[in-house]
Amino acid sequence: MSSAGSGRPVVAHRFQLALLRSPVGRLFGGLCELRFVGRVSGRRIALPVQCAREETRLVIYVGGSAGKQWWRNFVDGRSVHVRVAGASYQGHGRVVDVEHPDRARAEQSYRRRFRKAKVAPTDPMVVIDLAVGPPGEGESSDRDKGG
């Protein structure tokens, strides 16, 4: 499994992913793990990213987007598995660029969570709508899996 979408595992990403998957992962509400299948490569990708949560929605700012590839997987929308604050969810992610009607709301959510973050108006955001409902329909905690 690639941790950054580049085919080369990144040590820092592996460490962050291990923390998120451990019992202390509940403490990192502003960091989440994304798991998805690359649209071109077909490889499974696991990536730690900073996120802002607003109810059943996550907002991820893609700072320095020109030098990153992973977010392009969500241009046409994509299913994604998310682990955040010790819970796992299924969701659907999509790119919200500068001209997207949801951009102002997404940016507001992100800035509310990360007040000091510098958000370039030209960088996109990825918005993930989480599937939540009765147990078995979206959310499960690490406790449910025995760990």
pLDDT, averaged across the chain: 81
What is residue 8's predicted lDDT score, i.e. its pLDDT?
A: 45
In the chain, what are the domains?
A: 11-145 (2.30.110.10)
- Specify the 3-state DSSP secondary structure of 59: strand
Q: What is the mean pLDDT of residues 59-78?
A: 95
Q: How far apart are CA 102 and CA 110, in angstroms?
A: 12
| SS3 at position 14 | helix
Give the whole-number percent of the chain exceeding pLDDT 90.
Answer: 56
What digits encode the pLDDT tens for the residues 14-58? 656 655 555 555 555 578 889 999 999 999 999 989 999 998 999
Q: What pLDDT is stored for residue 145 in this prediction?
A: 41
Which pLDDT belongs to residue 109? Answer: 95
SS (H, E, C) 21-47: HCHHHHHCCCEEEEEEECCCCCCEEEE
Q: Is the pLDDT of residue 139 over 80?
A: no
pLDDT score of 105 more than 90 = yes
> What pLDDT does 94 receive?
97
